[in-house]
Chains A and B, each alone.
Chain A
Amino acid sequence: MAALNGWWDDYFWGALVIFQVFFCSLGFMIIFGLLGAIAKLSANKLAHKVANAYTVAFRGTPEILVILLMYFGSAIFLTAVAQLFNPEVKFVDIPPFWAGTIAISLIVGSYATETFRGAFLGVNPGSIEAAKALGMSDIQTFVYIRIPEMWRIALPPFGNHMLSLIKDTALISIIGLNETMFVAKQAITVTGKPFTMYIVVGAIYLGFSTVVTLSVMGLEKFGERTTAGVK
């Protein structure tokens, strides 16, 4: 334990990075998932095909590879663009934070696409007809009826997607994101204590996952109040 002296603040900042990645990627993941689901359910053939290609590609490739391709791919592109203006430039990249966040949002978003699609299909068509018959517009029906009814169906698998986001954050260390995994690697080279350093990382990730799991359980309870009542 003495080996940890001097590393606590690094772990703390690393944990904060996990937290930031989680919130940003959660937002993007929901957006990608909703867009994907809407495209898959739409009558538009092109939208349908694009969404299918998206889910096939991102569910069928190793996550770490997506992160690497996203980071180096965008770096090659940006470097080439920058060299057009200034041939002296050697290397331009987007910050690993954003490359990684977008990469894991796209990966988990492809799973969320299927979750949301199924959940939209699970909404009682009778509710939709009732809303139409009352004169509600398509957008009003979407916001006030479809979304609130579908999230209750989507919640349990959605909880798993949130856990995936948290765990995938560790992978982003490979492109140099200074989260806890990255901290541990540095600490190991200095102290030569891999087990101790990695167990701290494990404890931090487990802490985050537990908070997420408990939140999802709370939300499920909240959603169930409409279905679990006594007669």
Chain B
Amino acid sequence: MSEQSKKYLIQMKNVDKYFGEFQALKNINLEVERKERIVICGPSGSGKSTLIRCLNRLEKHNKGQVFIDGNELTDQIKDINAVRREVGMVFQSFNLFPHMTVVKNLMVAQQLVRKISKADAKQRAMHFLERVKIPEQANKYPIQLSGGQQQRVAIARALCMKPKIMLFDEPTSALDPEMINEVLEVMVDLATDGMTMICVTHEMGFARSVADRIIFMDLGEIVEESKPSEFFGNPKNERTKNFLEQILTH
């Protein structure tokens, strides 16, 4: 555990990832400090999901090193679940457990992974449901909620684990337009609260107002990495310019 890898909450060094012959990530280097908020964008298939999935080892990288809070993710890692519980993840398709009520969705991992008592888990679940503004839905099943509500439950479920890092993989792109804002509001609220976040999103308004840094990916590489003012005002790379033109004229 080097001093340097401890300084950053997340560190990726020369990371490559292959799916068979196909190289999905090419020499990725990324450092994220505590309380930093990163937005990743880029065209479809550019490797955005693959990158953040390497951070909780839903995908295994093939080359290079990944550190989470100083712990290197390798095949030899003794307890990957100890790392995973510190890294919250929110998926595009919500992925709530369909057979559990909302409050049970929030309690199950607290009880099993964090070994918290049922009563405390429930209390914490209700606390975070208040925070995402849907405490009244606690006893419904996921299917009974709107997409926006389901995604807010998914965010609350991740927060119940008290993670050090939150990863978002296009959390609003499966939502009807009128529900996008209610989810973004929750994310802005989290960012204001000092959560370390990496968000894959094409919500450029969110990126502009919340991100400390924006990362643009294409063909498995990080093409450009800059502050929002620079990213939108004065993009350096041709590919970034093209992408921004397309996405902003939409």
Q: How far apart sit A225 and B95, CA to CA, in the bound complex (Å)?
A: 18
Contact in complex: A226, B98 (CB < 8 Å): yes
> A131 near B: Cβ within 8 Å?
yes
Q: How far apart sit A127 and B157, CA to CA, in the bound complex (Å)?
A: 13
Contact in complex: B87, A133 (CB < 8 Å): yes
Enumerate chain B residues within 8 angstroms of A132, measured Cβ to Cβ.
56, 58, 84
Contact in complex: B56, A133 (CB < 8 Å): yes
Q: Output the least CB separation between A152 and chain B (Å).
A: 7
Count of interface residues, chain A, beta-carbon cutoff 8 Å: 25
Contact in complex: A127, B85 (CB < 8 Å): no
Enumerate chain B residues within 8 angstroms of A129, measured Cβ to Cβ.
58, 91, 95
Q: Output the least CB separation between A46 and chain B (Å).
A: 24
Enumerate chain A residues within 8 angstroms of B82, measured Cβ to Cβ.
135
> B144 near A: Cβ within 8 Å?
yes
Contact in complex: B141, A226 (CB < 8 Å): yes
Count of interface residues, chain B, beta-carbon cutoff 8 Å: 32
Contact in complex: A136, B81 (CB < 8 Å): yes
Contact A225 B141, CB 8 Å, known A136-B113, A137-B81: yes
Enumerate chain A residues within 8 angstroms of B96, measured Cβ to Cβ.
127, 130
Q: Which of B81, B88, B95, B108 contacts A124 (CB 8 A)?
A: B95
Q: How far apart sit A86 and B106, CA to CA, in the bound complex (Å)?
A: 65
Q: Output the least CB separation between B116 and chain A (Å).
A: 13
Q: How far apart sit A140 and B58, CA to CA, in the bound complex (Å)?
A: 17
Q: How far apart sit A179 and B87, CA to CA, in the bound complex (Å)?
A: 59
Contact in complex: B97, A136 (CB < 8 Å): no
User: Interface 1/0s, chain B 141-173, versus A by CB < 8 A?
Assistant: 111101000000010011001000000000000
Within A134-155, the residues touching B (CB, 8 Å) are 134-137, 140, 144-145, 148-149, 152
Q: How far apart sit A223 and B100, CA to CA, in the bound complex (Å)?
A: 11
> A6 near B: Cβ within 8 Å?
no
Enumerate chain A residues within 8 angstroms of B144, measured Cβ to Cβ.
229-231
Q: How far apart sit A66 and B109, CA to CA, in the bound complex (Å)?
A: 45
> A44 near B: Cβ within 8 Å?
no
Within A64-103, the residues touching B (CB, 8 Å) are none
Contact in complex: A149, B158 (CB < 8 Å): no
Contact A127 B109, CB 8 Å, known A133-B87, A134-B161: no
Nearest CB in chain B to that of A133: its residue: B89
> A60 near B: Cβ within 8 Å?
no
Q: How far apart sit A92 and B93, CA to CA, in the bound complex (Å)?
A: 61
Contact in complex: B85, A134 (CB < 8 Å): yes
Enumerate chain B residues within 8 angstroms of A227, measured Cβ to Cβ.
98, 141, 143
Contact in complex: B109, A131 (CB < 8 Å): yes
User: Interface 1/0s, chain B 105-133, versus A by CB < 8 A?
Assistant: 00011001100000000000000000000
Q: How far apart sit A152 and B112, CA to CA, in the bound complex (Å)?
A: 23
Enumerate chain B residues within 8 angstroms of A130, measured Cβ to Cβ.
89, 91, 95-97, 154, 157
Q: Output the least CB separation between B98 and chain A (Å).
A: 6
Enumerate chain A residues within 8 angstroms of B78, measured Cβ to Cβ.
none
Q: Output the least CB separation between A123 and chain B (Å).
A: 10
Contact in complex: A135, B58 (CB < 8 Å): no
Q: Which of B93, B97, B161 contacts A135 (CB 8 A)?
A: B161
Q: How far apart sit A127 and B143, CA to CA, in the bound complex (Å)?
A: 14
Q: How far apart sit A227 and B141, CA to CA, in the bound complex (Å)?
A: 8
Q: How far apart sit A132 and B58, CA to CA, in the bound complex (Å)?
A: 8
Enumerate chain A residues within 8 angstroms of B250, measured Cβ to Cβ.
none
Enumerate chain A residues within 8 angstroms of B93, measured Cβ to Cβ.
126
Contact in complex: A135, B143 (CB < 8 Å): no
Q: Which of A133, A140, A148 contacts B99 (CB 8 A)?
A: A148
> B13 near A: Cβ within 8 Å?
no
Q: How far apart sit A131 and B85, CA to CA, in the bound complex (Å)?
A: 10
5 A-B residue pairs with Cβ-Cβ distance under 8 Å, sorted by A, are A130-B96, A134-B109, A136-B112, A144-B108, A229-B143
Q: CB within 8 Å of B: which residues of A?
A: 124, 126-127, 129-137, 140, 144-145, 148-149, 152, 223, 225-227, 229-231
Besides A124-B98, A130-B96, A226-B143, 14 new A-B residue pairs in contact (Cβ under 8 A), listed by A number: A126-B94, A126-B95, A127-B95, A130-B89, A130-B97, A133-B87, A134-B84, A134-B85, A136-B113, A137-B81, A140-B113, A144-B108, A223-B99, A231-B146
Q: CB within 8 Å of A: which residues of B?
A: 56, 58, 81-85, 87-89, 91, 93-99, 108-109, 112-113, 140-144, 146, 154, 157-158, 161
